[in-house]
Amino acid sequence: MAAGLAAAPWLARSAFAQAKASKEAMKYQDQPKDGQRCDTCTQFDPGAKPGAQGTCKVVDGPISPSGWCIAYVKKS
């Protein structure tokens, strides 16, 4: 997705600074978008139980498994 690719260089710098992006900056939402969702994203760290909130390597705060943001990258 073009928006995700365009954000990548900025994300790389952010990772070096060890600061996560805000949900607002990444346009995070609690719902999937076009079939894309956090629990199929390579950046997602699942919570303790299936369906529980997890965390994200690049976006700050609790992350819903069924959420989405512009940094979505499908797990391989």
Binding site for ligand SF4 (CB under 6 A): 28, 38, 41, 43-44, 56, 58-59, 63, 67-69, 71-72
Closest distance to ligand SF4 from the beta carbon of 24 (Å): 12
Distance, in Å, from the CA atom of 63 to the CA atom of 17, rounded to the nearest integer, reads: 21
Closest distance to ligand SF4 from the beta carbon of 59 (Å): 4
Closest distance to ligand SF4 from the beta carbon of 58 (Å): 5
- Closest to 57 (Cα-Cα) out of 71, 70, 74: 71
Nearer to ligand SF4, 49 or 75 (CB): 75
Nearer to ligand SF4, 49 or 67 (CB): 67
Strands 55-56 and 44-45: antiparallel
